[in-house]
Amino acid sequence: MKLHEYQAKSLFADAGIPVPDSRLATSVDEALDAVDEIGYPAAIKAQVHVGGRGKAGGIKIATDREEAEQYAEEILGMDLKGYTVDQVLVESGVDFVDELYVGVTMDRGEGKPVLMVSTEGGVDIEEVAEENPDAIAREHVDPAFGLHPYQARKVVYEAGVDADVALDVASILSTLYDLYEENDASEIEVNPVMITSDRDVVAADAVMNIDEDALFRQPDLAEMAEESYEDDLERKAGEYGFDYVRLSGNVGIIGNGAGLVMTTLDLVDYYGGAPANFLDIGGGAKAERVTQALDMVFSDENVDAVVFNIFGGITRGDEVAKGINEALEQFDEIPKKVVVRLAGTNAEEGMEILNTDLVEVEETLEDAVQRAVANADEVTQ
């Protein structure tokens, strides 16, 4: 789960990390009130979960009120890579002479958190990692002990940070690690950390992702997650508790188990279709979950046809069939053609129950996907 920049920065500020003065605004008037308080130059930054906001036109620096108004008008309501901007962070401009990259993330291969520091801040760190990997200093942290303060200093010196600010940067890094642990973050990135002409150190950007599996013990962050949905369907999926990802195609996909659902997406693509979503109903789903899943996919206006693929382990075919019947029998006319494939536990019982006046049935995964792709093509032709 991604936090917005303004959410992450409020956590930073509470922990004592220096951040620029800022206000959140949802209208041009609010944005102008904010710049009136903060002064110029002021950065106007779109609060959406997309990388490369600056390049895409989602961050502008205003030097006077006229510019501030113009940029706020431009950015509020703009479409940034498919997301509509409905709030901006208005932030005091920082007069900087140097930019650093600082981050904490989980190294999956090592199974340990890793600190990262680079003096090549302010640019795409992935490019730096690829072209000049030595420019990023790394230090692994033993998760049983936590961070030793010397490790933060070591990695900062190793990266070649200027001596007069090195301890300040190390202190920020230490605090970031505390935040990483306390908040069950999966990643925290500050790019850039700015060094001002007065040699102050300021966190000018903030990326913070939270481990969704830890939200049960992070009630405040779970609340922030609510504020973070940017899409009605994602919000709905969150309410239902589904693993859901929206994609750009027109074949709706419902299945059980992440690997099998991904495979179904891949097969839709392989057979010439375009997947509209990833929707995993999880293990052991009862009829009610199935109707909720169909409701989700039907309410996505991009979807032209649906494939429902279940291989039952702990999920039972008869429960799934019951749910499909219940969901479809409420319609006078089925809104989108649904192809069903049931295999595994109680698949035969499920096939007997399934109302085949309402759905199409296929025996294999491959056949089910091809039929759904053909159904979608029929609609678009």
Partner 1 sequence: MSIFVDDDTRVVVQGITGGEGKFHAGQMIEYGTNVVAGAVPGKGGQEVDGVPVYDTVDEAVEAEDADASVIFVPPAFAADAVFEALDTDLDLAVAITEGIPTQDMAKVNKRLSETDTRLIGPNCPGIITPGEAKLGILPGNIFSEGNVGLVSRSGTLTYQVVDNLTERGLGQSTAIGIGGDPIIGTSFVDALEAFEADTETDAVVMCGEIGGEDEEQAAKFIGEHMDTPVAGFIAGRTAPPGKRMGHAGAIVSGSGTGTAQSKIDALNDAGVPVGDTPEEVADHVEDFL
Provide the annotated binding site for ATP: 45, 52-54, 91, 94, 99
CB-CB contact of 304 with 338 (8 Å)? no
Q: Which of 226, 170, 169 is nearest to 201 (CA)?
A: 169
**Minimum CB distance to partner 1, residue 365 (Å):** 7
Q: Residue 245: which H helix or E strand, with range?
A: strand 243-246
Cα–Cα distance for residue pair 290/281, rounded to 1 Å? 7
Q: Quick check: 261 binds partner 1 (CB under 8 A)?
A: yes
Cα–Cα distance for residue pair 276/292, rounded to 1 Å? 17
Q: Quick check: 275 binds partner 1 (CB under 8 A)?
A: yes
160 backbone φψ class: left, alpha, beta (φ>0; ψ -120 to 50): left
Q: Quick check: 216 binds partner 1 (CB under 8 A)?
A: yes
**Minimum CB distance to partner 1, residue 64 (Å):** 35
In the chain, the amino acid numbered 147 is L
**Minimum CB distance to partner 1, residue 255 (Å):** 8
Active site residue 101: yes
**Between 69 and 181, whose beta carbon lies closer to partner 1?**
181
Active site residue 177: no
In this chain, which of 223, 258, 299, 355 binds partner 1, going by CB under 8 A?
258
Residue 91 DSSP one-character state:
E
Q: Quick check: 148 binds partner 1 (CB under 8 A)?
A: no
Residues 359-378 that bind partner 1 (CB under 8 A): 364-366
CB-CB contact of 327 with 306 (8 Å)? no
Query: Alpha carbon of 139 to those of 12, 146, 151, 173, 329: distances in Å?
Result: 21, 12, 7, 11, 59
Cα–Cα distance for residue pair 43/61, rounded to 1 Å? 4
Q: Quick check: 270 binds partner 1 (CB under 8 A)?
A: yes
Q: Quick check: 184 binds partner 1 (CB under 8 A)?
A: yes
**Between 13 and 129, whose beta carbon lies closer to partner 1?**
129
Cα–Cα distance for residue pair 324/333, rounded to 1 Å? 14
Residues 68-127 that bind partner 1 (CB under 8 A): 106, 108-109, 111-113, 126
Any idea which residues carry the catalytic annotation? 101, 189
The footprint of partner 1 (CB under 8 A) covers: 51, 106, 108-109, 111-113, 126, 129-130, 142-144, 181, 184, 186, 211-214, 216-217, 243, 245, 247, 255-263, 265-270, 275, 278, 280, 283, 311-314, 343-345, 364-366
